[in-house]
Amino acid sequence: MKKLLLLVFFLACIVNVFAQTQKDTILNTFNKDYVLNIKKAQSAITIDGVIDEPDWMAAQKADDFHKVLPIDTGLAIQPSEVLMTYDDKAFYLAFTFYDTVQGKRIMESFRRDFVFGNNDNFLVFFDTFLDQTNGFTFGLSASGAKWDGVMHGGAGSNLNWDCKWESKVKHYENKWIGEMKIPFKSIRYPSGTKMWNANFSRLDLKTNEKSAWAPVPRQFPTSSLAYAGVLKFADPLPKSKIMFSLIPYLFGSFSNDYEAGTGNVWKKDFGFDAKVGLSTSMNLDLTYNPDFAQVEVDEQVTNIDRFELYFPEKRQFFLENSDLFADFGSKTATPFFSRRIGLDAPVLAGARLSGKIGNDWRIGFMNMTTQKTSNFLARNFTVASIQKKVFARSNVGVILVNKEYIDQPVDTSMFNRVVGVDYNLASANNIWSGKFYYHRSLQPDNPGDQYSQGALLSYSTKNIQAIIGQRSVGENFNAETGYITRTGYHHISPEITYLFVPNKQIVSHGLTLETNFYFDPDFNRIDQENAATYQFEFQDRSNIKIGYNSVFIKLQRDFDPTHISANYLPAGTEYNFGHAIVSYTSTRKTMFNWAAEAAKGTFYNGDIQYISGRFGYRYQPYINLSLNFNYTDINLPQPFEHAKLWLVGPKLDVTFTEKLYWSTFVQYNEQIDNMNINSRLQWRYQPVSDIYIVYTDNYIPGSWNSRNRALVLKITYWLN
């Protein structure tokens, strides 16, 4: 442990020395000439969707929005105007979106954190610390549905984060108007600041046009903080007060695991989450006895891969500043994956400290304890990270992950530790990005290659997108709290896309070539996949892709490609196979929309064909019907049986009002011989305070006997 602490200290010193050489660098947004001057309000602003207060009349307009999609040249067809003002407690936005083209405004539902591409909407992105990496996003759809989230990585948004704010949307024949009031205490920013970076975005599906106030190249999302404009406030913003919010909850449940023979089990309990703002930029999150029953169920997939499937984190406690913990390493070799905590045993309590120190430093610390169960001992999970901004938008970070068993004798097998350092590259104009990292697990009884190392460099312009990636994971690298698909390999993956942008009925088209090489520790080839894809994007934003994948695999372990057989292909055998693939995604502006993908070819020593897709229909903004499906036909030689696997997932989503939602998701999965029903009713009776009723049942297809079922009632209340 002493060596580990010395290593962390040494790396932090290196980062600090390197940072000192960059302290005089002037950091600014690419669109620094797009400036909106914001006056302080002299009277009250009423959030009613009517822009008639004197302060709105006196406010400077952000207008002349620029096209981003389908092309990024010229001004938007649909005129837009945005206004801002503020007082001592909140800041206010008002927007007017004019319609020069007749047609029905697209609004999917009233549900919070709507799907961006399925709604006419307004979004705003705030870079409050001017680091062009982290921030906050808010928005409204045409139905009045809210959007709020925390931003990370320069453009990404995590929408599972919620805060209290007010809004109102009103519709007129030739325009729609929205007003928003966001309390300063809901977000974080430096004390005494007079300047933020920000951008305003509009999506109008009638014209298939996405536009932004500060121009953004079409290859980047409008959320790219590198291309934000500048907000200048007339006076320093009010000093942030210490923020404290408490979210107690009560829950009761009934369950019966028929397969395990538990009988009826009744449970009632309580818990709480708390959020303490230690400063304007540092948060302490606490949780006791959390219950995550209301979290949306994962969407199942048919698994024909050799490695563990990835499902994203959806639990809110783990989300704010999640990049400080979860963005180390690569997608398939990360040292910390929060879903390792609390899904196999209940969480007893946890604490998380995260935020900024000054302008350039960020820190994260998380400690979680899970309860002892019949299958697992009590465990404690600790993650600590520190990140230093360097150059224009890049950063260097160090992470330590520790998992250990509680109240157990000291033994080398009773803990797992990983330490690592990452450098994340992001150029000022976002054209160059990349990552370089080195991680090491610390297991004294497991000597050998305990490392994970990788590099990625990406170049992105309107016509050319090129990526080169490299990754190596030692045979004995062990990150039990991470997501590591496999160990003992070297990987290299070049990819290049060239797009033609004629801006006609076909907006863009082009070819993508990609290769993935995998080698064993002695650099013998064990896997290779070559893919060639040609894509077309049309004016209505529908697209079609046609391609071919060829694969070589030398199995390192016995493997059943169907995942349902007692038979397997033996380790050491080699296979060459390939398949043609075509996919299509329809426009989202029609009430009925769909997407599908089909493939046919060889698979290991047999054949495969599959078709998957999604159908959707909306009765806006109240009802959304969707159907996800996959049919996979795998025909391998004897002794394997001919596998025909269906996965069907119909979903009904009803938003009665802006506060009352009901969704039911049914998933029939032949591969795991199960049908799951998850039905959830949510009533937001106060801002960010909810009552949930969740019913879950799992059945055995054929006999339709219940495997297990549960009914949960949960009540939360936000106090702040």
Asked if the model's pLDDT at residue 172 lies above 90, the reply is yes
SS3 category, 225: helix
Domain count, the chain: 1
Phi, psi of 172 (to 5 degrees): -130, 170
The confidence score (pLDDT) of residue 529 equals: 97
CB 195 within 8 A of CB 161: no
Average pLDDT over residues 352-372: 90
Percent of the chain with pLDDT over 90: 72
| Three-state secondary structure of 341-353 | CCCCCCEEEEEEE
The confidence score (pLDDT) of residue 445 equals: 75
Q: What is the pLDDT of residues 200-213, one digit of tens each?
A: 999 999 999 999 99
Residue at token pair 């003002």: 85
Query: Would residue 627 count as lying in a domain?
Result: no
Average pLDDT over residues 573-585: 97
Alpha carbon distance 218, 619 (integer Å): 31
Query: Would residue 483 count as lying in a domain?
Result: no
Percent of the chain with pLDDT over 70: 95
Rg (CA), the chain: 26
Query: Would residue 98 count as lying in a domain?
Result: yes
Query: Would residue 107 count as lying in a domain?
Result: yes
The confidence score (pLDDT) of residue 185 equals: 84
Query: Would residue 275 count as lying in a domain?
Result: no
Q: What is the pLDDT of residues 483-517, one digit of tens each?
A: 999 999 999 999 999 999 997 889 999 999 999 99
Model confidence band, residue 295 (pLDDT cutoffs 50, 70, 90) = confident
Alpha carbon distance 448, 474 (integer Å): 8
The confidence score (pLDDT) of residue 30 equals: 85
Asked if the model's pLDDT at residue 9 lies above 50, the reply is no
Query: Would residue 581 count as lying in a domain?
Result: no
Query: Would residue 681 count as lying in a domain?
Result: no
DSSP for 20-88, written as a single string: HTTTTPPP--TTTT-EEEEPBPSS----SS---SHHHHHSPPB--PEEEES--SSB-SS-EEEEEEE-S
Alpha carbon distance 420, 385 (integer Å): 9
Q: What is the pLDDT of residues 27-48, one digit of tens each?
A: 467 898 999 999 999 999 999 9
Average pLDDT over residues 635-639: 95
Domain at 145, CATH number: 2.60.40.1190
The confidence score (pLDDT) of residue 22 equals: 32
Give the range among 175-189, 244-258, 282-296 with minimum mean pLDDT: 282-296
Q: Which residues contact 603 (CB under 8 A, 6 or more apart)?
A: 304, 561, 577, 579, 634, 636
Q: Which domain holds residue 108?
A: 31-233
Model confidence band, residue 421 (pLDDT cutoffs 50, 70, 90) = very high
Model confidence band, residue 283 (pLDDT cutoffs 50, 70, 90) = confident
Asked if the model's pLDDT at residue 410 lies above 70, the reply is no
Q: What is the pLDDT of residues 508-535, one digit of tens each?
A: 999 999 999 999 999 999 999 999 999 9
Query: Would residue 675 count as lying in a domain?
Result: no
Q: What is the mean pLDDT of the chain?
A: 90
Give the range among 15-24, 526-535, 619-628 with minimum mean pLDDT: 15-24
CA-based torsion, 699, 337, 433, 225: positive or negative: positive
Q: Of the candidates 675, 600, 583, which has an alpha carbon nearest to the alpha carbon of residue 634? A: 600
Average pLDDT over residues 64-78: 93
CA angle 595, 158, 499 (to 5 degrees): 45
